[in-house]
Amino acid sequence: MACELTAGFTLQCKDGIGGIKAIFLVQREDYLSGGVVSIDAGTQEVDGLPTMSVYQYTLPKHTGSFTEEVASSVENGTIFYTQTVTATFHKLSAARRKQLNIVAQNRLVVFVQDNNDNIWLVGKVDGAEVTAMSTATGTAKGDLNGYTITFTAEEANKAYRLESFTNNPFDNFATVSVIAPTI
């Protein structure tokens, strides 16, 4: 049977934290044309990525999340995973508005760097799309003046974790160029 259980879980130490630090976006077309993604058979981690440039979007603390939910149909014998990334960016500006408009028009692959320095691959096969975006000036002086954007992917498999980086995200993948934030 292909879905045999292979292990149970022990009680883990309480040493993980929530939230995300950054997202890295790549146009799905560039991701697909740059080569293949390879997964280590033993660890099930991504150990090879296509040749591509990823654009880094750094998030303020406590403003982003990555969730993954299973959708299972007992009647049809199907299962897939809905991967959702939500990110907030401070300060309204013409440059940010223009860039977010371009992001919303694209089909993307999203890499999520969480606060534990794991990087997760969202939309590995079918890509991710912007499914919501809001622009807000806020009402009170302490309210958000900025943008909130949601990316959604539906995949046959759970999101894969990339092998750990050494000093900077993707430094262990010679095929990936990280474009640092400029706006």
Average pLDDT in the chain: 96
Is residue 11 included in any domain, yes or no?
no
Is residue 56 included in any domain, yes or no?
yes
Structural domain tally of the chain?
A: 1
As a whole-number percent, the residues of the chain with pLDDT over 90 amount to 91
What pTM was computed for the model?
0.94
Q: Which domain holds residue 141?
A: 20-179
Is residue 5 included in any domain, yes or no?
no
Is residue 4 included in any domain, yes or no?
no
Per-residue pLDDT tens over the stretch 77-96: 999 999 999 999 999 999 99
Q: How confident is the model at residue 1 (pLDDT cuts 50, 70, 90)?
A: low
CA separation (Å) from 125 to 6, 154, 180?
A: 26, 9, 25
CA separation (Å) from 9 to 67, 93, 118, 131?
A: 21, 47, 20, 35
